[in-house]
Structure 1
Amino acid sequence: MSTHFLTIPGLASSGPNHWQTIWEEQYPDLFHRAEQVNWDWPVKDEWVPKLQETISRLTAPTILVAHSLGCITVAHWAQEFKSEFVKGALLVAPADADLSKRLNFVVGFKPVPVTRLPFKSIVVASTNDIYASIGRSEKFARDWGSEFINIGKKGHINAVSKLDDWHEGKEILQSLSGLNFSAIPVS
């Protein structure tokens, strides 16, 4: 059975120029997006159950592909739930909910869980991410039992970073999933 991917965006979802959206458009049979109640007003007690609702419908081995607050959502989800279908997670630019200046509208995400994830995972971080220092990102990786990859100065690793379809990210995801994206025709 082929591996699938569930993208889990952060605050405001991922727009048309974000690598998550681009990957979903390139590989519509493999990538599907988790939806949320309100992308612009994140509430942990809404986001985590909504993610569980999506994960509970999985029928194939799946790698979670989270960005920003989506990474923190995955960490909270893993404390409450589990799924035999979740085989790993690519956690890109985890937002530091503990130190965020946006806490007035990011409800319930702190403290960031420090529990080891029950599946293989990779945290990818940038040295100039305004939403988490490289040190904090590395700490998240240690706490979660994740491999840690520092990709240098790439901002929040989002559309503003102008990564387009982010080839480096695909290579990292390939190392986690074993799927060779260059061998798959793009839609």
Structure 2
Amino acid sequence: MTPRVLLLPGWLNSGPDHWQSRWEALHGDTRVEQADWEWPRRGDWMARLDEVLMADASPALLVAHSLGCQLVAAWAAHSRLTDRVTGALLVAPPDTERDDMPPQLHNWRPIVRQRLPFPATAVVSSNDPYCAPERAAEMVQQWGARLVGLGPLGHINHESGLGDWAEGRALLDTLRAA
């Protein structure tokens, strides 16, 4: 059975020009909607992901951007539904432990650093304003994910000029085939 793709946007959601929104429109991927995008609570976001996975027993691939990456790590450490996930694409994980993070994200501390129970690929930029490359590499290693560096693409969002981001879709297809 082909896994469905669940999109996990970060803080403030992904706007219409973001590659996640474009994938939703182009490929029919499903966005996991959260009740509060402005003041995200880790436990609430984890519970919502569980709800979506319980509503449909088919396997899923998680595609997370920014805070969505932290959601995957926290959720995987606590959920009993991890066997429904066949893999995760983690794009631009933020360092929520940085002193300059907005107060809305302080409840995402500490970062959950347990090994993920499913295959994962993490995509990072060398000049992400929300995470130094060294910190990203450290998180990715602790999660047991494969690291893909893209060079200087900022936060790998709509401002990065990725359009439909075919390279990201190819990485997802590699995870799907694994």
Query: How has the CA–CA distance of structure 1 residues 136 and 58 changed in structure 2, closer, same or farther, with 3 Å as cutoff?
Result: farther
1:122-133 alignment to 2 at 5 Å? 122-133=121-132
Paired positions, count: 177
Aligned alpha-carbon RMSD (Å):
1.3
3-state SS of 1:65 partner? strand
CA distance in 2, matches of 1:172, 1:79: 24
The equivalent residue for 2:4 is: 4
Q: 2:146 corresponds to which residue?
A: 147
Match of 2:24 in 1: 24
Matching of residues 82-121 of structure 1 within 5 Å = 82-83=80-81, 84-99=83-98, 101-121=100-120
**Once the two structures are superposed, what CA deviation does each residue of 1:26-84 show, in whole Å capped at 9, x if it has no partner?**
011xx101111111111112211112111222322211000000000110001110322
TM-score by length of structure 1 reads 0.90
Q: Which residue of 2 aligns with 1:176?
A: 175
- For residues 80-103 of structure 1, give each alpha carbon's deviation from its aligned partner in whole angstroms, at most 9, with x where no partner exists: 103222111000000111115234
Runs of 4+ in 1 over 2 A off after TM superposition: none
In structure 2, what is the Cα distance between the partners aligned to 1:58 and 1:88?
A: 16
| Bigger share in helix | 2
Hey, what's the Cα distance between the residues in 2 that align with 1:169 and 1:44?
26
State which drifts further: 118-127 or 166-175.
166-175
8 A contact 1:19–1:164 mirrored in 2: yes
CA deviations on 1:105-132 (whole Å, 9 max, x unpaired) are 1142111111000000011000000000
Specify which of 57, 72, 90 is matched with residue 59 of structure 1: 57
CA distance, structure 1, for counterparts of residue 56 and residue 72 of structure 2? 15
Give me the whole-angstrom Cα distance separating, in 2, the residues matched to 1:47 and 1:57: 16
TM-score, normalised with respect to structure 2? 0.95
Unaligned runs of 5+ in 1: 180-187
Tell me whether 1:138 sits opposite 2:137 in the alignment: yes
- Kindly provide the amino acid, as one letter, of the partner of residue 7 in structure 1: L
Gaps of at least 5 residues in structure 2 are none
